[in-house]
Amino acid sequence: GAGVSQSPSNKVTEKGKDVELRCDPISGHTALYWYRQSLGQGLEFLIYFQGNSAPDKSGLPSDRFSAERTGGSVSTLTIQRTQQEDSAVYLCASSSSPGSTWDTQYFGPGTRLTVL
Amino acid sequence: KQEVTQIPAALSVPEGENLVLNCSFTDSAIYNLQWFRQDPGKGLTSLLLIQSSQREQTSGRLNASLDKSSGRSTLYIAASQPGDSATYLCAVNQAGTALIFGKGTTLSVSS
């Protein structure tokens, strides 16, 4: 079946502009995660959605970052007033059994964001 | 705060060698540990998941072990091939939600 998909695959924007990144999780997966991978840095958690519960936003680096998940499926990560330090690969993952010891997260191909 | 460390950061081996990648974590209270592979410019591919109650998992030429009490995991790759060249990432799931990643080991296998 289809895996996690993300769009666009690449995004180049000018400093100060807003961007929206999209994630389409695996069908039936209740949990959705956003991570960021910066050059020279490891992968860092941004935000987590599980069903209808309030999202865990503890990883968002600033209030310029926000995300929503509509209808328990597709998610959009929005970065307002982009800065050069926002340049990174943004990865989305989904899973079916969050909170269990056997839960596997499946990752999309990522969106490479470049802020000029 | 959980910290995940991977050693070495980079590794070059000739084809056919058996090799071991190391991962250590500071807090042993984990749900599970996952090993991923990342090819340049690509997303992550899950290789193996070891639950907190398990000691090892095997898939083909890959074997991952977990010693929770000492905070260590190893990924053993048998008979390495050039196609194994990639970055290998270790990640722990501590709270049943987000993964905490190491910075990875970049493997290069020469023919």
Q: What is the pLDDT of residues B38-94, one digit of tens each?
A: 998 888 999 999 999 999 999 999 999 999 999 999 999 999 999 999 999 999 998
- In this prediction, residue B109 has a pLDDT band, given cuts at 50, 70 and 90, of very high
**CA-based nearest residue in chain B for residue A38:** B103
For residue range A24-53, list pLDDT tens digits in order: 999 999 999 999 999 877 899 999 999 888
Q: Which of A26, A101, A102, A114 would you mutate first to test chain B, the one with the most B CBs within 10 A?
A: A101
**Pairing between strand B72-77 and B62-67?**
antiparallel
* B interface test, pick of A43, A96, A104 with most B CB neighbours within 10 Å: A43
Closest residue, chain B, to A107 (C-alpha): B44
Question: In angstroms, how far is CA B82 from the centroid of its own chain?
Answer: 18
Nearest to A15 by CA among A80, A83, A114: A83
> Which of B69, B55, B66, B71 has its CA nearest to residue B3?
B71
Would you state the torsion angle of the CA atoms of residues B72, B78, B83, B84, taken in this order, to the nearest 10 degrees? Answer: 10
| pLDDT tens for each residue of A82-113 | 999 999 999 999 999 888 888 899 999 999 99
Q: Convert the pLDDT of each residue in B7-49 to its tens digit.
A: 999 999 999 999 999 999 999 999 999 999 999 888 899 999 9
Q: What is the pLDDT of residue A94?
A: 94
Please, is A55 exposed, middle or buried when counting C-beta atoms within 10 Å of its C-beta (0-12, 13-18, 19+)? middle
B-chain residues near A45 (CB < 8 A): 98-100
